Structure 1
Amino acid sequence: MEPWEMREWHAEYLDACNRHDLDAVRSFVDPAVRRAHLPGGVEAWVADMADLFQGFPDWRWRRIQLIVEDDRLAAHLRGSGTHLGTFRGIAPTRRHVNVAEFAMYRVVHGLITEFTGSENDLELRAQLGLAER
């Protein structure tokens, strides 16, 4: 894909994520996607997102910056939502969180085949009042 096509592709992917449309999200991810330090495969990807959306039903990402190079995307995002449901065993706190996220994707034929990104669990827990920053 050309750089402008990759940018449009990412905008469509982010829109599917922000609609919490897991079937649409699945259509952007290779069935055998590799994720650094996380279980691979599209089902694990979708399950992690479903867990996030259960805990934060209003979760949204906002793109800050996107860099495209060949078949790679580097994205700086802000993710935010209100903790209204159980998330990773944590009962709802009703707190609003806002975290920085950095993600690297390899996209082949319109599908995410590789992913690595920043881990924001510590920041999330801190904002939920469960851990020190």
Structure 2
Amino acid sequence: MTEQEPSTNSSMTDKSALRALYEYYIDFCNAHDFQAMEKFYTAPAIRINDEPWTPSRVTDQFRPLVEGFPDWHWEIRHFVIDDNFLSLHFRVTGTHLGVFQGIPPTGKKVETTQFTLYRVVGGVKFDAVWDMTDFDSVIKQIS
């Protein structure tokens, strides 16, 4: 055994743990369980796109989205782990059954993409998130 082998195995275990952590989190996201989601964010603040937010402010941003699309769902398409960073590419879907950004319900199904980078601290909390979601395509689909 070389000295690198244990490190590689440890790294694989760490990656498995980080993937499991994220899969646990995304289950709460897809269940729209905001209270459970907040437990994954550092308190009193997490950085969202380089700005400090409280954990409740993070989940509050999802409320209008879920009101407009009660079945809003994130599906992981690509997942890359690099040290303590998680990079994700999502396929996001939902049905427009409530008012969203002033647009009354249309009943239309929508699909868009999202790219998100998370930084994990202590192996258990997200302390920074950088996110890009194509909401322009969502608006076009329901207009």
Do both proteins adopt the same fold according to a TM-score greater than 0.5, normalized to the shorter chain? Answer: yes
In structure 2, the residue corresponding to 1:20 is in which secondary structure? Answer: coil
Aligned: 1:81 with 2:94: yes
**Counterpart residue number, 2:127:** 113
Q: Please, what is the CA RMSD of the aligned residues?
A: 1.6
Post-superposition offset of 1:41? 2.1
Percent of aligned positions with the same letter in both sequences?
31
Q: 1:34 aligns with which of 47, 62, 78?
A: 47
Higher helix proportion (structure 1 or 2): 2
Q: Point out the structure with max Rg over C-alpha.
A: 2
**Counterpart residue number, 1:124:** 138
**Counterpart residue number, 2:65:** 52
**Counterpart residue number, 1:2:** 14
* Residue-pair matches, total: 129
In structure 2, the residue corresponding to 1:94 is in which secondary structure? Answer: coil
In structure 2, the residue corresponding to 1:2 is in which secondary structure? Answer: helix
Mean alpha-carbon deviation: is it higher for 109-118 or for 35-44?
Answer: 35-44
Code of the residue aligned with 2:22 in structure 1: it is H
> TM-score with structure 1 length normalisation?
0.89
Post-superposition offset of 1:40? 2.0
